[in-house]
Amino acid sequence: MPLLLAVLICTLKFVAGEPNNLIVIPLDKQYVPIYRGEDVVAYKTAYFGDIFVGSPSLEFSVVFDTGSGHVFLPSVKCESEACRAHRRYNESASSSAIQLDHEGLWAGGERDEVAISFGTGEVIGNFVEEAVCLNGKLTDGACARVRIVTANQMTDEPFQNFHFDGVIGLGLANLAVDSQFSFFEQMARSGENFVPQFGYFLSERDDVASEICFGGHDARHMRSSLQWTPVHDPHKGFWQVKILRVTVNGEEWSRAPPQAYYTIGYR
**Could you report the per-residue pLDDT of 128-150, keeping only the tens digit for each?**
999 999 987 666 568 899 999 99
Task: Check pLDDT > 90 for residue 20.
Answer: no
The region of weakest confidence among 36-40, 107-111, 114-118, 219-223 is 107-111
CATH no. for residue 10? 2.40.70.10
Contact assessment for residue 215 and residue 22, using Cβ atoms and an 8 Å cutoff: yes
Omega into 258 within 30° of 0, i.e. cis?
A: no
Q: How far apart are CA 183 and CA 204, in angstroms?
A: 28
**195 domain residue, yes or no:** yes
Lowest mean pLDDT among 49-53, 64-68, 80-84, 261-265: 261-265
Give the rounded percent of residues in the chain with a pLDDT score beyond 70: 84
Strand partners, 228: 6
List beta partners, residue 166.
62
Query: Is residue 205's pLDDT more than 90?
Result: no
What residues have CB less than 8 Å from 99, skipping those under 6 apart?
91, 105, 106, 111, 126, 127, 128
> Residue 259's pLDDT is what?
55
Domain count, the chain: 1
CA atoms within 13 A on the CB side of 264: 26
Mean pLDDT (whole number) for 146-167:
90
Assess if residue 256 is contained within a domain: no
Domain contains 244: no
205 is a domain residue: yes
What is the pLDDT averaged over residues 226-238? Answer: 87
Residue 238 placed within a domain:
no
Sequence-distant (6+) residues with CB within 8 A of 11 are 201, 202, 221, 222, 223
Nearest to 267 by CA among 143, 90, 118, 121: 118
Across 16-30, 89-103, 187-201, least confident range:
16-30
Inside any domain, residue 133 = yes
- For residue 28, tell me if it sits in a domain: yes
Note whether residue 93 is domain-resident.
yes
In this structure, are residues 210 and 47 in contact, taking their beta carbons and an 8 Å threshold? yes
End-to-end alpha-carbon separation of the chain, Å?
28
Which structural domain range is residue 41 located in? Answer: 4-219
pLDDT, tens only, 238-261: 998 888 888 888 888 766 555 555
